[in-house]
Amino acid sequence: MRENKKIIRQRIRTHLMEMSNEEHEELSNKIAENLFSLDEWKQAKTIGITISIYPEISTVRIIEQAWREGKSIAVPKCYPEEKAMDFKKITSFNQLESVYYGLLEPMEDTKKASVRELDLLVVPGLAFSNEGYRLGFGGGYYDRFLSHYSGKTLALAYDVQILDDLPIEVHDIAVGKLITPTKVLRTFAH
C-alpha cells in the first residue's frame, strides 16, 4: 500500500533531523558543487531560489556564489490570503525579514522579478521521485507557480529524499533535474 503524503513528510523530516550538522554541511556543499558544474547554472542570469531553513539543504552558499558570478537572485514572497507567490530580487541578506513559521522572505520594497526574467528556478521539496515529481511542504504555492512558468527547473535533494514511489496528483509538475550529493538526475520533464 502507498504511504500517504503526511506519513512521507514525517518520515523524511525525521531522517533529515537525525543527520548531524557536519553531515548537513558536507552534503550541502557537494550538492552546491554539482549545481555549479551544470550548464543551467552557468547560463542563468536570474535564479529563483528559497532561503533555506534547517534541516533543508543550505542555499546561503549557493546565493553567495551567484552574487560573486554577477547573477541576480530572486526569492519567493508568499501571499497566504491569495495562496500566491511572487519572486523578488535581493542583493543582500539584509533585504530579508522573518515572516510566518520563521521563513525569511524579501521585504516589501524589493523589486519584483517577472516570471520571464527567471532563467532557472530551484524548486524546494521534502521528497522527490526519480521522474522529478515532488512532495512539497503542503502549501501548494510552487504547484500554482509552476503551472505558468516555462523556464528551467531543478531541485536540490539529499539522496534520502529520492523515493521510488511518491503519490502523484494530476496537477503535479516535475522538475527538469534533481541534484544530489552523489549524482545529477535528468527527469522526464527535461
Cβ 107 vs Cβ 97: under 8 Å: yes
Q: How many separate domains does the chain show? A: 1
- Exposure b/e, 152-186, CB count within 10 A at least 16 = b: bbbbbbbeebbbeebeeeeebbbbbbbbbbeeebe
**Cα(64)–Cα(67) distance, rounded to whole angstroms?**
5
Q: Is the dihedral of CA 25, 101, 6, 153 positive or negative?
A: negative
Q: Please, which residues have CB within 8 angstroms of residue 130's CB and are 6 or more apart in sequence?
A: 162, 164, 178, 185, 187
Amino acid at 75: V
Q: Which residues contact 82 (CB under 8 A, 6 or more apart)?
A: none
Q: Which pLDDT belongs to residue 189?
A: 60
Q: Would you state the pLDDT for residue 1?
A: 44
| pTM summary value | 0.93
- Domain ranges, residue 34: 5-186
Contacts 24+ apart (CB under 8 A), 80-88: 83/139, 83/140, 83/141, 83/144, 84/141, 84/144, 85/141, 85/142, 85/144, 85/145, 86/112, 86/113, 87/48, 87/112, 87/113, 87/118, 88/112, 88/113
Give the CATH number for residue 59.
Answer: 3.40.50.10420
pLDDT for the residue numbered 2? 55
C-alpha to C-alpha distance for 13 and 47, rounded to whole angstroms:
26
Residue 169 makes CB contacts below 8 A (sequence gap 6+) with none
Amino acid 39: pLDDT: 96
pLDDT attached to residue 190: 53
Amino acid 171: pLDDT: 77
Q: pLDDT tens for the chain, 190 residues: list them.
A: 456 888 988 999 999 999 999 999 999 999 999 999 999 999 999 999 999 988 889 999 999 999 999 999 999 999 888 888 999 999 999 999 998 777 899 998 999 999 999 999 999 999 999 999 999 877 888 988 999 999 999 999 999 999 988 888 877 889 999 999 999 999 866 5
* Cα distance between residue 29 and residue 38, in whole Å: 15
